[in-house]
A and B are shown apart, each in its own frame.
Chain A
Amino acid sequence: MADGPVAELLLRRLEASDGGLDSADLAAELGVEHQAVVGAVKSLQALGKVIEAELRSTKRWELTSEGEEIAQEGSHEARVFRSIPPEGLAQSELMRLPSGKVGFSKAMSNKWIRVDKSTADGPRVFRVVDSMEDDVQRRLQMVQRGQAEKLGEKERSELRKRKLLAEVTLKTYWVSKGSAFSTSISKQETELSPEMISSGSWRDRPFKPYNFLAQGVLPDSGHLHPLLKVRSQFRQIFLEMGFTEMPTDNFIESSFWNFDALFQPQQHPARDQHDTFFLRDPAEALQLPMDYVQRVKRTHSQGGYGSQGYKYTWKLDEARKNLLRTHTTSASARVLYRLAQKKPFTPAKYFSIDRVFRNETLDATHLAEFHQIEGVVADHGLTLGHLMGILREFFSKLGITQLRFKPAYNPYTEPSMEVFSYHPGLKKWVEVGNSGVFRPEMLLPMGLPENVSVIAWGLSLERPTMIKYGINNIRELVGHKVNLQMVYDSPLCRLDAKPRPPPTQEAA
C-alpha cells in the first residue's frame, strides 16, 4: 500500500523515468496542485532512502490577472482602436469605455489615433491607420505558451512595469531513486499500540523513525527557588562538618544583643539611623538579662577582663532600642551566652543561615534584606591557624581551593581576617568572606572560661549564588520582581561541580 495516490503515482513515474523528475512537471502532468506532489515527496522522504529529493528553486514568468485578460481580449489600446468607427467617436464617449483612459493614451503614443478639437460638439477621435498589430497581446500569449524566454529583456520589463507580467520563484524538488527505492512502499506505523502488543502485529509492521533532534515536552512540575537551593547546600556542608544549626527565627532584636553584647560601642556608625532599621513599635526590648547587662556595661565604659574598655558613658536606653537585626551574629551571641551558662563548658560548633536587614541605599548588589551565612566554633585553645584550616575545608566544599587572608578590622573580632579567593573568570582575588576570633570583651562577660576561644566566619548567601547562576542584579534573584521563568529553568545547585563551559560557536 502506498502512502496516498500521488505518492504511488510518483513512484511509478520515477521507476519509468530516466534519472529523475521534477515535482512541478509531475504536478502539471498529473493535473494536481504542486503542493500535493510536495506532500508526497516529504512523506516518502520520511521513509528513509526510498527516494532522494533535491530542493531547486526556479524562476518563472507568469501573467497577472490583468495580463490574462489582455491575452484573451487584446490590449487596452487595441480595444480603443477597434471601438472607433471610421467617422470617429466623441472623446467624451470614448473615455467612458472600460479601456478608455489607458487605451487612449497608449493608442495616441502608438500614433494609431488622433484627436480633432475643432469639431462643433467637442473633440472627436479618429483612426490614423487602417489596421495595427497588437504586440502586447501577442507577447503575453507567448508567455502563456511558456515561451517567455523568447521575449527580449526590454519587452519583458515593459510588460512588468504595466503590471501584466510577474516573475515568481517556484520551489520544486528534483526527485530521483534512493538506495532503497521500491514502488511497493507500505505505510509506516507511528506508535506502538496495546493492540499491536496483544496481537503481535508489531513484529510485521514498519515503524516511522523518531526525529531525535526535536525537543521533548517538559514535565509539569513545581520548582525550588535557586537561592534557597543554595541555602540547602550550605546547610548540608555545615552538617557534614558537624555544625549544629542555631535558632535564628527572631528578626526583631534588641540593640543589646545586636551590638552591645558584641562589644560594639554605642557611638559606632552601624548604630546610626542611616544604617539600621529601628522600631517604632515595639520600640524597646521588654527584658534584658540584667546581671549580664551590668558586666557588658562595665566592659564598655570602664574596661575589665584585661581590656581598657571604650571609656564612655554606656546607656541602658540605647541598649533597649529594638531593631531589625543587622547580622545573625546577634543570634550567635544568644547561643554563646546560653553555652556559657552550661557548666562544665562543652565545645561547640554552630552555624546559621538567615535573613538580616540593613537600611541601605538599594542598588544592583544591595538590598535592604539579605541572607547571612555564619559558622562558629567554641573550644579550648583555638588558634588563627585553626580558623584558617576550617575555612579551607569549608571553601573547598564550595569548589574554592585558592584562598588567601587579609588583615581586617571588625568591632567584635580580633584578630580579624578577610577571606579572598582567586576568581579565574575575573582573573583577580575577590573577597568571599569575613572571619575572626571573637574578642574577650565579648566572651568573658557572657561567662565563658578564659581559655576558651571562639572563631567565627560569615558570608552572604546572595553573592555566591549570583556567581553560581551568573546573575548580575540581585533584584533578579530575590523578591517579588524575579522572573518565574528563571526559577523554572534553574539547574540543581552543586557547589563543588565545575561550571559549565561557555557555549561554543556553532559552525554556521
Chain B
Amino acid sequence: MRSISEIFAPLSYWVSAAGISLNTDIFEINLINLILVLSILFYYGKGVLISLLENRERTISNTIRDAEERYTEATEKLHKARIRLQHAEIKADEIRISGLAQMDKERQDLVDAADNDLNGSEDSKNNAIRFEKQRAIEQVRQQVSRLASQRALESLNSCMTNQLHMQLIDYHIGMLRSMSNK
C-alpha cells in the first residue's frame, strides 16, 4: 500500500488549488493513539476471530466428509442389494421353471393313465364283443343243425315206409357185421 504522500504528490498542484493540504502535525499526535487502538484491537480480536473461523472451517469440512461417507455407504448398500435382488430373481426363475416342469409331468401322467384306462376298457369291450359274436355263431349253428335235423327227420318221416325201413335196418346190420368181421 502506497504511503499517503505518494498519493497526493502528483496531484499537489490540484490539491493546493482546492485548498486541501496535508497535515503532518496532528499526524503525529492522533496517529499514536490510533496505532495503539489498532494494535490492541488486533491483539485481542485476532485470537477470537481466528478461533471462530477455524471452528467454522472445521465444521464445514466435517459435514462435507460425513455427507460423502454416507453417500459411499449408501451406494455400497445399494450395490449389495442389487446383487441380492439378482440372486433372488434367478432363484425365482428356477422355482418357476421347475414348477412348470412338474405341472407338465403330472399332466402327462394323468393323460397316460387315462389312455391306459381307455385301452383297458377297449380291450374288455372287444373281448365281450367277440364272446357275444361266438355265442351268436354257436346259437346260429345249433339252430341251423336243429333245423337241418328237423328237416331231415320230416323228409324221412314223409317218405319212409315200413318196407323201406326194414331194408335200411338190414343194410345197416350187414354193414356192422362186415365191420366187426374186419
Partners in one complex: no
- What residues of chain A have their CB less than 8 Å away from a CB belonging to chain B? none
